[in-house]
A and B are shown apart, each in its own frame.
Chain A
């Protein structure tokens, strides 16, 4: 993979007093499915618009295949966007919408027909070619927008929250289709979303953006399991934070003193020393909830805390618990891999044990 295919080099963009993009540098490889993930207003869309040519950075350069494209107008870049609202041309048929870029490029007529037809086939809309956009469903419009942007084989396809306007079922279906289309065309996809689920399931790599800066750039499992900051840990999925001071070191492990809570044992992967303060993140699904404590031979070193069940949400696949543990609230997620009706049930106000292995906590921030 050529890693210098698309390069943002110290790019900054301000709107008045607001710094939308703050000194961002990143590289995207050729053919990669790359996501910009962050809350609304974090600057991810501004990054996308600068690549599309709709905004010009105040400083920094953008390179595409070694060429500086920072000052090129949108029509001189081989970069196409799938807009959030699709932006299909309402006065043109589906066929004419898809043919738009090819007609502009003065492609020969036979080639236009061939390529538009093959695009229609790819997005399974051959029978809708002569309809107008307002005669299509949301999912169909979405597919037309993708076909229109891919028909002249751009260097990069930008997708700006493309699934946000679809309902849940359709969104899941389109996720699979998008993935298939990416595999088929092999074009670099740059995907902007605030939905961590979409980003996780599609991306080769994700850049988590917050307040105009990249908080973390990694493959999805690393983003989830080893978040680089409190923000990343809480934005991607749920987590429990335990903030405290390291009181003792025991080989690769350390003990953390958390106010209003027994000492927590954790893997000391950041090689911290006694006296340093740290934020430990433990994901709910890594925390077990049982009515009896775990067997002692499982290791005296695991974290076990007596707790009281405050709230339960049963979801079929799993149950989510909120527990009072010492003076802290802990959330835990119990997947149901066995037939649930045969199991003993935990209910409100039960005295239970929450426990997790020291390796399952992750130190996100050192103070």
Chain B
């Protein structure tokens, strides 16, 4: 039987299906869905802004429009809502990574202000690890970088989510090592991150191996042993396992 075509309007997509499309890399489709869709206008504005960051081709006008939308959402969403916090996070993010030239000072100020006012969401709390990464490679002398990194330490107290704490501690640890900072403090950060727990193999192994080495270099043998043994217990068939076993054997015994 032949189908006879009638002009039937497609139902307007809802916000959830638009986000599903975005999570599957269908950015253009998701953006259209947010623009045409039904549901909360402010939520759709945030969706449009977030998808505009990756709609192809990526143009300056798209980025500017995304920034404007995030600013509107930050004003229009209830002040203590996740939506408002996420919009503010993305305002900082656009300044950090999308503008030419990047506005790193503006991004840092925005992340800090946001974290001081609003935590409790794992993505918003990523602002803390972004601050650590920016401070680690700022175009200033290493001594200044280390001072700035130290000034970020109190942020840990503000972080409420496990993911926020884990990524902040991990980034701080690497930032110290990359700047010749206090290795023992870096080990403390790794221990904090590990207490939360990694669920991604690459991240976990990378943290454990670097932490094990830093711990052994500053004489914290028990911590080095802890990290190496954890890696071996979890991934005994990893090609690095033999090397890690030799590192473990080379550690001084408890009695020195």
Real binding pair? no
